[in-house]
């Protein structure tokens, strides 16, 4: 853009000094930016994206206009919240995007992200669900928890938080409806999503599970969950629902309470590849091979009990990881929005 001669300061005037600094700053900005583009990093120390962010801040401080990228514009409505949980005695990080009075709550796999949900960093959820007329709520920090209330660990009271504290806070502070939401989860999050919809139908009228363990009280699965959570997360699952042989695992088993989903006509979306592989074993606590059998059993039980409001997909291809879960959220998003919007 050329300067207007009528407004250009005369040579040697006081305005000439600042203008010279701005021109120099702009030349430095372009030089460094070009260097980053060609070499990929600056001085072998920091990623180019980080340095470009720093350069943008420098540019703005010099008065240089920096155009916002399409990604930045798309992410303008995304907020990082800290929501208090009296039950757990701490604030829980939440990534939130407003889009309507009803929301989808997204629950992570076993190795849940902290301080940002893996649905945000790995599943692309904030972009996928944008423009659907619903809000997005992605809690972080729920690793190795099954998103349940632990009997012997007060720091893990996730059912209370997700079914009570969080929706109440969002209703009071973000204008969301108190109920009628959707809840979606991968792996441990899928188990919890269906259980949450069973026990809290006033809060959640839509539930989806991707590669969830839907029969956790079954002997093969309760042993796998106990061993896997200990091996990958260093936690003792006996502190969750007690030893499996005492029977309290059934109290939290989505399959054991499937009739509640049928009676409430809860909309379901259940996805689990028929394969036995995954690229991130920690996300599935090393038991990727257990998901498809558990999902088949749940499907049989649901339909035999009269369930007719579910979408079930057990494809022959795909893996139990974000390469499948992210695209599946996109495939489901229209159905989800139509049900809860």
On whether the CB atoms of residues 139 and 53 are closer than 8 A, the answer is no
Question: Quick one: pLDDT band at residue 203, thresholds 50, 70, 90?
Answer: very high
DSSP string computed for 204-228: EEEEEEES--S-TTSHHHHHHHHHH
Mean pLDDT of the chain: 83
Strand order across the 204-210 sheet: 78-85, 90-97, 135-139, 103-107, 181-186, 204-210, 267-271, 310-313
- 186 three-state secondary structure: strand
Question: What number is the average pLDDT over the span 199-219?
Answer: 98
Model pTM greater than 0.85? no
- Quick one: DSSP state of residue 248? G
Which of 338, 320, 330, 161 is CA-nearest to residue 267? 338
Which of 256, 227, 318, 284 is CA-nearest to residue 111? 284
Query: Could you give the CA distance from residue 98 to residue 131 in angstroms, rounded to a whole number?
Result: 10
Task: Give the residue carrying structure tokens 């091979």.
Answer: 289
On whether the CB atoms of residues 155 and 125 are closer than 8 A, the answer is no
**Which residues, including other chains, have CB under 8 Å from residue 20's CB and lie 6 or more apart?**
none
**Which residues, including other chains, have CB under 8 Å from residue 246's CB and lie 6 or more apart?**
none
Helix axes 48-61, 16-39, angle to 10 degrees: 170
Question: Quick one: pLDDT band at residue 332, thresholds 50, 70, 90?
Answer: very high
Dump pLDDT digits (tens) for 112-128: 999 999 999 999 999 99
Dump pLDDT digits (tens) for 101-110: 999 999 999 9
On whether the CB atoms of residues 191 and 214 are closer than 8 A, the answer is yes
Task: Pick the more confident residue, 75 or 132.
Answer: 132
């Amino acid at each position: 853009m050329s300067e207007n001669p009528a407004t250009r300061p005369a040579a040697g005037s006081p305005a000439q000094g600042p203008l010279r600094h701005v021109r120099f700053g702009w030349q430095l900005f372009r030089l460094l930016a070009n260097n980053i583009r060609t070499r990929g990093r600056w001085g072998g120390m920091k990623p180019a994206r980080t340095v470009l962010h720093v350069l943008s801040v420098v540019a703005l401080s010099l008065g240089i206009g920096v155009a916002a990228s399409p990604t930045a514009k798309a992410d303008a409505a995304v907020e990082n919240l800290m929501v208090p949980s009296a039950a757990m005695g701490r604030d829980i990080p939440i990534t939130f995007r407003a889009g309507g009075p009803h929301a989808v709550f997204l629950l992570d796999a076993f190795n849940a992200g902290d301080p940002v949900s893996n649905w945000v960093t790995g599943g692309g959820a904030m972009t996928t669900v944008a423009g659907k007329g619903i809000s997005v709520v992605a809690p972080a920090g729920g690793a190795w928890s099954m998103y349940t209330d632990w009997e012997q660990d007060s720091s893990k009271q996730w059912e209370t938080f997700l079914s009570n504290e969080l929706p109440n806070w969002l209703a009071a502070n973000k204008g969301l409806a108190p109920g009628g939401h959707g809840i979606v989860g991968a792996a441990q999050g899928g188990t919890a999503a269906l259980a949450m919809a069973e026990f809290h139908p006033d809060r959640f009228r839509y539930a989806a599970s991707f590669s969830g363990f839907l029969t956790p009280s079954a002997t093969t699965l309760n042993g796998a969950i106990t061993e896997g959570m200990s091996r990958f997360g260093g936690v003792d699952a006996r502190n969750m629902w007690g030893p499996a042989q005492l029977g309290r695992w059934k109290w939290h088993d989505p399959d054991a309470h499937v009739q509640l989903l049928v009676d409430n006509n809860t909309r379901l979306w259940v996805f689990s590849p028929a394969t036995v592989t995954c690229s991130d074993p920690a996300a599935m606590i090393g038991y990727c091979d257990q998901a498809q059998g558990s999902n088949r059993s749940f499907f049989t039980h649901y339909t035999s009990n009269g369930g007719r409001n579910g979408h079930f997909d057990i494809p022959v291809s795909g893996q139990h990881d974000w390469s499948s879960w992210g695209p599946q959220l996109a495939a489901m998003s229209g159905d989800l929005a139509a049900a809860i919007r």
